[in-house]
Amino acid sequence: MQTEAMVIEKTGDVDVLVRKTIELADPLPKEVRIRVRAVALNHLDVWTRKGLPHLAYAFPHRLGADIAGEVEAVGTDVTSALAKPGTRVLVNPGLSCGACERCLRGDDNLCPSYRILGESAQGGYSRHVVIPEQNLLPLPAALSFTDAAALPLCFLTAWQMVRRRADVRPGQTVLVQAAGSGVSSAAIQIAKMHGARVIATTSTDEKAARAKELGADHVINYVTQDFVKECKRLTEKKGVDVVIEHVGGEVLTKSIVAAAWGGVVVTCGATAGFTPQIDLRHVFFRQVRLLGSTMGSKGDLFEVLRHVDAGRLRPVVDRVLPLWEARAAHLLLEERKAFGKVVLSVD
């Protein structure tokens, strides 16, 4: 079938995003076609659009990992109870084989064939998308499509960082870097829900107020304050128990210094640079654990959705734009003008 999409036919700046009619294959036996109603942006979209050296692009390429919509058609062998035409669904953005040892023990994000929609597989910047049935999730009844689309990648990533990697516990102090991002706005909520004291960093008074609304106990303006000194002051020189960060560069370097002896620094990105200068003495002598994290298991997202449904966690949407204004949406992320998620609605 034919459908309209925003695609890239080469990598580059926002001008490479173009509106185009594309051919979409029918669902295979275990696949489902979704009528996309909303798709949220992530910094992954910006990096993929600009060009990632490890990707083998199949142009025209569709960005977009976070998809909410309705089931439209199903393959002949689909058995999921969610796979009924008209059912409102959320899409899990991680693709894996579903058969290897890691997938079967629930570590599907460690699968050797793991891919992410919109990055190494075709994504949701389109009126329609075809996905494996195992990637369907129930969409909480109280959520709009645009709010639901703001959940998957950032909450799944934050959940793994806070719960699985750092194992945050009541009474700990957690530093969340760059509070305005989707991952960080989720991490603040998850850390608070698990009884932590949360310190967040951000660049403006407006974003600081938003971070406090999400539960941050203290907010440091990293433009006017040294966050290492502030963390030491707020913890009586001890340092923070856990750092959640995705900035990289000098921020990662200083995050290690801000951590307490025996503390944990979890990183999932490097928007400020891939090659930080690290004084290893701060790692081995102070016994700081530096942990990497990417996405999370499909099963964890079900737990996240239960907390959302109960009102303990909530998506943070900065604004909603039409899919056809994807260029403007990308600029909002690049210029750091959003707090939380920018979501594209699909007419």
Give the chain's end-to-end CA distance (angstroms, integer). 17
Whole-number pLDDT of residue 270: 87
Question: Residues 209-229: what's their mean pLDDT?
Answer: 96
Question: Considering only CA atoms, which of 125, 145, 103 is closest in space to residue 44?
Answer: 125
Q: Residue 333: is its pLDDT beyond 90?
A: yes
Are 329 and 260 found together in one domain?
no
Whole-number pLDDT of residue 264: 98
Q: Could you give the 3-state DSSP secondary structure of residue 227? A: helix
Are 341 and 271 found together in one domain?
no
In a domain, 309, yes or no: no
Separation between Cα atoms, residue 247 and residue 272, nearest integer Å: 5
In a domain, 307, yes or no: no
What CA–CA distances, in Å, run from 118 to 144, 147, 295?
A: 22, 19, 14
Separation between Cα atoms, residue 181 and residue 94, nearest integer Å: 20
Paired strand residues for 266 = 244, 291
Are 263 and 165 found together in one domain?
yes
| Residue labelled with tokens 């403007």 | 328
Question: Residues 195-218: what's their mean pLDDT?
Answer: 96
Are 173 and 265 found together in one domain?
yes
**55-93: pLDDT as tens digits:** 999 999 999 999 999 999 999 999 999 999 999 999 999
Whole-number pLDDT of residue 135: 96
Are 83 and 178 found together in one domain?
no
Are 208 and 235 found together in one domain?
yes
Question: Residues 279-293: what's their mean pLDDT?
Answer: 96
Question: In terms of residues, how long is the chain?
Answer: 347
Contact 126, 5 (CB under 8 A): yes
Contact 85, 71 (CB under 8 A): yes
Question: Residues 151-174: what's their mean pLDDT?
Answer: 97
Q: What angle do CA 333, 335, 338 make, to 5 degrees?
A: 50
Separation between Cα atoms, residue 62 and residue 49, nearest integer Å: 9
Separation between Cα atoms, residue 248 and residue 334, nearest integer Å: 16
Q: Residue 156: is its pLDDT beyond 90?
A: yes
Are 182 and 242 found together in one domain?
yes
Q: State the average pLDDT for the chain.
A: 96
Whole-number pLDDT of residue 274: 87
DSSP letter string over 98-132?
Answer: S-SHHHHTT-GGG-TT-EEBTTTB--SSBSEEEEE
What CA–CA distances, in Å, run from 296 to 110, 220, 303, 313?
A: 9, 28, 12, 17
Are 201 and 145 found together in one domain?
no
In a domain, 303, yes or no: no
Are 46 and 114 found together in one domain?
yes
Q: Residue 230: is its pLDDT beyond 90?
A: yes
Q: Residue 49: is its pLDDT beyond 90?
A: yes
In a domain, 251, yes or no: yes
Are 178 and 140 found together in one domain?
no
In a domain, 20, yes or no: yes
Are 143 and 124 found together in one domain?
yes
Question: Considering only CA atoms, which of 137, 2, 23, 8 is closest in space to residue 69?
Answer: 137
Contact 139, 151 (CB under 8 A): no
Separation between Cα atoms, residue 311 and residue 45, nearest integer Å: 29
| Residue 217: HSE in the Cβ half-sphere, 13 Å Cα cutoff | 16
Are 27 and 105 found together in one domain?
yes
Question: Residues 14-19: what's their mean pLDDT?
Answer: 98
Total number of domains in the chain: 2
Amino acid, single-letter form, for residue 163? R
In a domain, 99, yes or no: yes
**135-152: pLDDT as tens digits:** 999 998 899 999 999 999
CATH number of domain containing 181: 3.90.180.10
Question: Considering only CA atoms, which of 135, 145, 186 is closest in space to residue 162?
Answer: 186
In a domain, 306, yes or no: no
* Residue 51, phi-psi category: left (phi > 0), alpha (psi -120 to 50), beta (remainder): left
Cα 230 off chain centre by? 27
What is the token pair recorded at 324?
Answer: 């056809």
Within the chain, residue ranges assigned H as helices are 43-50, 101-104, 145-149, 152-159, 182-193, 205-213, 227-234, 249-258, 281-284, 298-309, 326-334
Whole-number pLDDT of residue 330: 98
**106-134: pLDDT as tens digits:** 999 999 999 999 999 999 999 999 999 99
Whole-number pLDDT of residue 271: 82
Whole-number pLDDT of residue 64: 98
The parent domain of residue 200 ranges over: 155-292
**235-272: pLDDT as tens digits:** 999 999 999 999 999 999 999 999 999 999 999 988 88
